[in-house]
């Protein structure tokens, strides 16, 4: 099940890739159904807020007509940054599954652990490394292409 | 100058108060002009993302037609939560001034210090406690009223 939904998040990341955005994708799942999808749109929307998780959470809130996503899970291809980890806590998401680890900005342990139990008024269960290689490979290809383009 | 813009953030917080939202307000300033205003709209918009800072940053990005707010300052009446501290880092805001401290969820030192120098690829200068008493008083009054209402 974890892999099924991570593959859906990867499909979203692929959409970002095709639009020349850093390829990160996310889905929000409620009762085994996807209720919010999102991919990174920072360049297109000219807003640093437009990360995959934020887009997916925003759509899920609209779908459930609530800011509380208490019985939801979020799948994202990269370890959440501070903003997205915070948005997950704020929207009371129950479980998070992420793919690749982000040593530079990941906030599920890599730089800070914002999901540390008891730190905020809502605890989130976190599982990292789901389809890690596929998630990392897409990012690696993207940045390799970008460097090639920069040199040409 | 700091106090002038914090008073503007307080005006935004007051708007939230009148709409029965937790009274937090923010403004983004560029070259001494306010280019984005926001107040907490979580209940009205049914989205946990709709914090004052996020609303103000989003408007500022639209105004400058860029996700980079490198020469901007943000004034907010309460110490930013993890999501908003992350959004400030992501959008490359230069300086942050906040009013009241938030012992429970503040991420400018109270719970975590997401603005710790060298932690991410962008450093933010932070000043806390600007018009602290006014900012805290508005929140205090709001929660006092809320409890009164709960009991009645």
Is B90 in Cβ contact with A48 (below 8 Å)? yes
Global confidence as pTM: 0.94
Disruptive mutation site among A61, A78, A87, A88 for chain B (greatest number of B CBs within 10 Å): A87
pLDDT tens digits, B49-98:
999 999 999 999 999 999 999 999 999 999 999 999 999 999 999 999 99
Region A48-69 average pLDDT: 96
Given pLDDT bands bounded at 50, 70 and 90, which one contains residue B147? confident
Task: Take residue B113 and report the two structure tokens written for it.
Answer: 């210090």
Among residues A4, A6, A25, the alpha carbon closest in space to that of A128 is found at A6
Residue to mutate among A50, A57, A82, A89, with most B CBs inside 10 A, is: A82
Residue B111 has pLDDT above 70, yes or no: yes
- Min Cα distance A114 → chain B (Å) is 8
| Eight-class DSSP state of B46 | T
CB pairs under 8 A between A and B: 122
- Residue A54, judged by CB atoms within 10 A of its CB (0-12, 13-18, 19+), counts as buried
How do residues A20-51 score in pLDDT, each as one tens digit? Answer: 999 999 999 999 999 999 999 999 999 999 99
Overall average pLDDT of the B20-41 stretch: 97
């Amino acid at each position: 099940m974890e892999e099924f939904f991570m593959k859906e998040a990867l499909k979203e990341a692929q959409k970002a890739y095709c639009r020349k955005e850093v390829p990160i994708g996310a889905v929000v799942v409620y009762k085994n159904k996807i209720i919010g999808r999102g991919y990174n749109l920072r360049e297109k929307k000219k807003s640093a807020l437009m990360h995959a998780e934020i887009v997916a959470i925003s759509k899920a809130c609209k779908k459930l007509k609530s800011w509380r996503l208490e019985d939801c899970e979020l799948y994202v291809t990269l370890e959440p940054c501070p903003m997205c980890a915070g948005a997950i806590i704020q929207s009371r998401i129950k479980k998070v599954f992420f793919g690749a680890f982000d040593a530079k900005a990941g906030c599920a342990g890599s730089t800070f652990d914002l999901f540390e139990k008891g730190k905020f008024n809502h605890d989130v269960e976190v599982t990292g490394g789901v389809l890690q290689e596929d998630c990392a490979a897409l990012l690696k290809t993207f940045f390799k292409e970008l460097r090639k383009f920069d040199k040409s």
